[in-house]
Structure 1
Amino acid sequence: MYAASDKRYQSMPYQRVGASGLKLPRISLGLWHNFGDVDRIENQKEIIFGAFDRGITHFDLANNYGPPAGSAERNFGRILREDLRGYRDELIISSKAGYYMWPGPYGEWGSKKNIIASCDQSLQRLGLDYLDIFYHHRPDPDTPLLETAQALDLLVRQGKALYIGVSNYSTAQTQAIAQIFKQLGTPFIIHQPQYNMFNRSIEQGLTDVLAAEHLGAITFSPLAQGLLTERYLNGIPADSRAARSSSPFLQPDNVEATLATVRQLHQIAVERGQSLAEMALAWNLRQPTVTSVLVGASRLSQLEDSLKALDHLDFSPEELQKIDQTLAQAQ
């Protein structure tokens, strides 16, 4: 039977989410990959237990995480039931709804029908009475924003979620739904956008809205799906995601075009006494509105490497200027 380390809160810094009372670890664990039915449960346990032993209290899921869809929630629910049940009040568990999950007109997007059913299904798979944070995973172009907001607000009033968040919402959409949540009195506290050195779009207005509305951000893909690591310094490995991915971002031509920039960023990291991945995570956390950064891990040692970023979070003005100049040259 797992017993958590007595030292789990000694080294992890925690930061308040916007103006709310909730604090998150500066690094959180995302279960997008490596926690589905295709992955060994023993390895999943090692990563999750290792994360909690190191002060990571926040575990981020979505209804469609796996593969297959739903299996990440089921597997985490099993681990929670068998080993972590006694620590439930020390954990922040989040999930999301919005992407395709089941056939027919109600299995995705942002209708009240989909959101309520999705949350109920997630709670059942996880074996929980409530989620700490429930997100709308993507904006719905066809459902009124008011309907989506009212559905999320209802989950809080039903006791199924403590806090509400959104993900992949634009600046204007975030501003609009924030105003609705204010009128409803909903505890809307967090946005989950993509953010990394190659995708800085949140700096074009979204961070200003988050600051003005007293919201926090938890960013995903901080390592640009592996590009901001040493893995690609010498080209595209045959077993890498870029070599086998259907993602436009990871197509070989796109990766090759960024390798010179990656190597320059790597040199800046070396001069800082960090790996490129450590610097990329620290760079995310330099942003005032970023409460936490989501990292994935296929093994515990990978997670341990990510946590080393916390040893050197400060940047000099000269370092930030050098990073900006390097990234500007790549555009």
Structure 2
Amino acid sequence: MVYSASEQRYDSMPYNKTGRSGLKLPAISLGLWHNFGGVDTFEQGARMVRRAFDQGITHFDLANNYGPPPGSAEETFGRILRTDLAPYRDELIISTKAGYRMGPGPYGERGSRKSMLASLDQSLKRLGLEYVDIFYSHRYDSDTPLEETMGALDQAVRQGKALYVGISNYGPEQSREAITILQRLGTPCLIHQVHYSMYERRLEQGLQQVLEEEGVGSIAYSPLARGLLSDRYLESIPADSRAAGTSVFLNREDITEAKLAKSRQLNQLAKERGQSLAQMAVAWVLRQGRVTSALIGVSKEQQLDDIIGATKQLDFTQEELAAIERILS
């Protein structure tokens, strides 16, 4: 059956301006870090992508090494583009990244011009695209001059292979320097992708101030703390969960009784707000409009539907915010 997108796809999803740019991103974006690789069922991933787009998620986030195996998530999404989303390409924001380990030898990772631009070419081939909307430096590389890494991002835009550029996992001062270099080159930094949740607060330790001063947007990955801020682990470790197997995302050691106790208290507060814990966690990341988009990962369509429901109630009272801080302290 030929896919036809819902005519109501833009009716309920909020879209937020990204820094000082003219680009708007959906309040919730879908990441393909996990569950879209070569080891996963293609049709399940395709259903989740179609369901996301039908509900107004226009931003799909990838990286060269997403899978497993590395590169296969881009191949999966490229196939979904060909089979379902090709007519809607101009409605999509597709991002990819380079910097973490992708292949053997000295050019398969990090931030040299050689590795960054070669990686982008490889990503475009896997995706079947002439350009991506956002190309990121996935991490700061102390072995490469920052001018070289940022110059590679600038070159990608000038070659027409990316519309915008961003950085990810950079500290506050590294971010300010990178943003300054890109401004000087004439290719402004659009966005910073950062690990941020109730349990991970590095964004608040100087980085948010830098981004706001420089007019750069932010997108928060792992807003559910890899599942700890959902009902997934409130009672036990499910047999089909990440933590039950061998996962680089979440280990049994990450699921401490102290964190579970906090999650249970947060879950009770979410119920009082009329939300699931996952919905409240995403709403908290988006509170006050300081974060442009929350980047989620899902393995089932039901999880996607639940999290998207967060957009129905993004406001918090001061009492609720204070209660959350007491629980987390």
Q: What is the TM-score normalised by the length of structure 1? A: 0.96
Equivalents in 1 of 2:254, 2:126: separation in Å? 40
Q: In structure 1, how many angstroms separate the alpha carbons of the residues matched to 2:195 and 2:175?
A: 14
Aligned-partner Cα distance in 1 for 2:143–2:239: 41
Q: Distance in 1 between matches of 2:288 and 2:100?
A: 28
Residue equivalent to 1:243: 244
SS in 1 for 2:135: strand
Residue of structure 2 equivalent to 1:59: 60
User: Are 2:124 and 1:123 aligned?
Assistant: yes
CA contact (8 A) 2:262 2:327 kept: yes
Shift of 1:252: 3.3
Change (3 A) 1:270 1:123: same
Deviation at 1:141, TM superposition (A): 1.1
In the alignment, which residue of structure 2 is the partner of 1:228?
A: 229
Q: How many residue pairs get matched?
A: 328
Q: Deviations over 1:123-156 (max 9, x none)?
A: 0110101000000101101100000010110000
Segments of 5+ residues of structure 2 without an aligned counterpart are none
Instruction: Judge conservation of contact 1:61–1:94 (CA < 8 Å) in 2.
Output: yes
Provide the TM-score with structure 2 as the length reference: 0.97
Q: Which runs of 4+ in 1 moved over 4 A?
A: 245-249
Contact kept, 8 Å, 2:71 with 2:126, in 1: the verdict is yes
Instruction: Give, in whole Å, the separation in 2 of the partners of 1:204 and 1:8.
Output: 36
Q: Could you tell me how far 1:238 is from its partner in structure 2?
A: 3.5
Distance 2:256 2:63 in 1: 28
Task: Report the alpha carbon displacement of residue 255 of structure 1 after superposing the two structures with TM.
Answer: 2.6
**Whole-Å Cα distance in 2 between the matches of residues 287 and 140 of structure 1?**
32
Correspondence for 1:76: 77
Report Cα offsets for 1:14-43 as digits up to 9, x if no partner: 011000010000000000011111111111
1:223-272 per-position Cα deviation (integer Å, ceiling 9, x unaligned)? 00100011221133343322334559633364323111111111111111
Q: CA RMSD in A?
A: 1.3
Which moves more between the two structures, 312-321 or 35-44?
35-44
Letter in 1 for 2:59: H
Q: What is the identity, as a one-letter code, of the residue corresponding to 1:219?
A: A
Q: 1:38 to 1:249 in 2, by over 3 A?
A: closer
Contact 1:18 1:289 in 2 (8 A): no
> Structure 1: how far apart are the matches of 2:93 and 2:39?
25
Q: Counterpart in 1 of 2:295? A: 294
Tell me how far apart the structure 2 counterparts of residues 216 and 252 of structure 1 sit (CA, whole Å).
33
Percent identity (aligned): 61
Instruction: Give the Cα–Cα distance (whole angstroms) in 2 for the partners of residues 126 and 243 of structure 1.
Output: 32
Query: Paired residue for 2:196?
Result: 195
Distance in structure 1 (CA, Å) of the matches to 2:140 and 2:258:
31
> What 5-or-longer segments of structure 1 have no aligned partner?
none
Task: Tell me, yes or no, if the aligned pair for 1:168 and 1:193 is still in contact at 8 Å.
Answer: yes
> Where does residue 89 of structure 2 map in the other structure?
88
1:96 and 1:90 map into 2 onto residues whose CA distance is: 20
For the 8 Å contact 1:235–1:256, the answer to whether it is kept is no
2:72 is the alignment partner of 1:100: no
Residues 228-237 or 158-167, more deviating: 228-237
Amino acid at match of 1:175: R
Aligned to 2:207: 206
Report if the CA contact (8 A) 1:242-1:255 is conserved: no
CA separation in 2, counterparts of 1:14 and 1:87? 18
